[in-house]
Amino acid sequence: MAQLWGGRFTKKTDDLVKKFNDSLPYDRRLYPQDIRGSIVHATMLGKQGIISDEEMRAIVSGLSGILHDIDSGKLPFTDEYEDIHSFVEANLIDRIGDAGKKLHTGRSRNDQVALDMKMYVRDEISEIRELLKSFLTEVVTVMEQNIDTFMPGFTHLQKAQPVTLAHHMGAYFEMFRRDRERLSDIAERMDLCPLGSGALAGTTYPLDRNFTARELGFNGPCRNSMDGVSDRDYLIEFLDALAICQMHLSRFSEEIIIWNSNEYRFVELDDAYSTGSSIMPQKKNPDIAELARGKTGRIYGALASILTTMKGIPLAYDKDMQEDKEMTFDAIDTVKTELPLFTDMIRTMRFRPEIMEASAKNGFTNATDAADYLVTKGVPFRDAHGIIGRMVLYCIDKSKALDDLSLEEFRQFSEKFDEDIYDAISLKTCVEKRLTTGAPSHQAMVDEIRACRDYLG
């Protein structure tokens, strides 16, 4: 018996319809959740006297056998079944006979699939949080090693003010930390069990929904059965969190690509994380970062897809909701592949402090500090800004950095300049004077890195 619902039909389903309607080709990955949900449901039915103890035991052991056989590959998925729920139930009935036919008492595939997907996402959230933790551990390691590695900070991709590599990586630490926290917020909000909602209106059997929820590790049962079968908000939030995380990975990729370019040479990707060209022998391309940047479209697509699918659905369950799976699975697989790749890519990447520092020195990144110097000598900031602006023009003309000018040259622009200007605009001073919380100075970063390590536990 491949179908669960043949009774009221006189004709066989059209082949194309079956193919279009079936979800087993992709929802098969929900089998551990589906079986676990069924085991708890059957246990609850037994406890409530809705089925006998003997039936309950037969169901539980039959389901455990199915789980074991799927795990070991002994029980293959065959495409006569519509979805994972039909597959498991039909197999159970084949194995244990009539008792198996009682499993679906007080339950619908609508609350069943709502449960399966929620448990699946809950498991994935904890796995992705762990992957993010490993990634953050690598980020903080780079920070620790580069507290005094000066580099230019950019705005508009133009050199702006000097920072350190630790500070720059610290910005990514914050982004991916928020991604992790966003995931735990979602896990907390979605922690209500839909099983027991039935098709939409609950059931007439005396189910113990609190028991089911507790046994399945939820905080409690969902509070409205129509919402229980049709809520996909948590999936939208989850895909939103993945989309943001992917956006961060994409920005990070973009910087790696720029930094790894011949013009920048701030980093060199390890051979194992680069690819070559079939025609140009000299090439070593950052394909992994580019591909990750490119995959952003899929994840945004998954989010746009589910938002669109859900927007016009009347309460309660409609088959449209089956579309919640494929792209979600794809988004999960994509992020779960990328995070370990990035963790290893930054671990093996060679940073080039000397090139970063030279770049910070020759791009007038200390111009703001030079203006601030004049302010300390009593020049109003707006005037100081104008003076340094003219000096930058002069330096560009002479192909010099501000630091290269003689004191006489400084004084041609303002009488206020003294010997101490050189120290005031050195890279080290520029960074070290930025002491406030969140700024790049050595001490601020040491404090910050300690807090990052505490967070990672």
Q: Residue 407, Cα to own-chain centre: how many angstroms?
A: 53
Each residue 15-34 as x (binds ligand ARG by CB under 6 A) or -, in order, gives: --------x---x-------
Mask for 321-350, x = binds ligand ARG (CB under 6 A) = xx----------------------------
Q: In angstroms, what is the minimal distance from the CB of 223 to ligand ARG? A: 21
Stretch that binds ligand ARG, among 106-114, 207-215, 267-275, 350-358 (CB under 6 A): 106-114
* Binding footprint of ligand ARG, residue count (CB under 6 A): 10
Residues whose CB is less than 8 angstroms from the CB of residue 325 and which lie 6 or more positions away in sequence, other chains included: 23, 26, 27, 117
Beta-sheet strands, E only, within 325-388 = 350-351
In angstroms, give the least distance from the CB of 306 to ligand ARG: 13
The CA-CA-CA angle for residues 99, 81, 44, to 5°, reads 35
The smaller minimum CB distance to ligand ARG, of residues 23 and 343, is found at 23
At 170, list the tokens. Answer: 């610290």
As a whole number of angstroms, the distance between CA 316 and CA 206 comes to 22
Q: Give CA–CA dist 155/425, Å, rounded.
A: 20
What 8-state DSSP symbol labels residue 197? Answer: -
Which position among 38, 72, 156, 359 bears the catalytic label?
A: 156
Name which of 25 and 438 has its Cβ closer to ligand ARG. 25
Q: Within 10 Å of residue 433's Cβ, how many Cβ atoms?
A: 13
414 among known catalytic residues: no
When the beta carbons of 145 and 322 are compared against ligand ARG, the nearer one is 322
Q: Which is nearer to ligand ARG, 55 or 83 (CB)?
A: 83
Residue numbers 286-325 binding ligand ARG by CB under 6 A: 317, 319, 321-322
Beta bridge partners of 192: 220
Write the binding mask 107 to 136 for ligand ARG: x where contact by CB under 6 A, - elsewhere: --xx--x-----------------------
Judged by beta carbon, residue 111 or residue 338, the one nearer ligand ARG is 111
- Is the Cβ–Cβ distance between 224 and 230 less than 8 Å? no
Q: Does residue 278 carry a catalytic annotation?
A: no
Q: How many CB atoms lie within 10 A of CB 32?
A: 15
The total number of residues shown for the chain amounts to 457
**Residue whose C-alpha is closest to residue 317's, from 205, 227, 382, 396:** 227
Min separation Cβ 325 and ligand ARG, Å: 6
Pick the catalytic residue: 167, 184, 277, 441?
277
Q: Phi/psi at 268 (nearest 5 deg)? A: -125, 120
- Using DSSP's 3-state secondary structure scheme, residue 200 falls into coil
Binding mask 374-393 for ligand ARG (x = CB under 6 A): --------------------
Does residue number 197 form part of the binding site for ligand ARG (CB under 6 A)?
A: no
Q: 251: which 2 tokens?
A: 């920005």
Catalytic residues: 156, 277
Q: Residue numbers of the site for ligand ARG (CB under 6 A)?
A: 23, 27, 83, 109-110, 113, 317, 319, 321-322
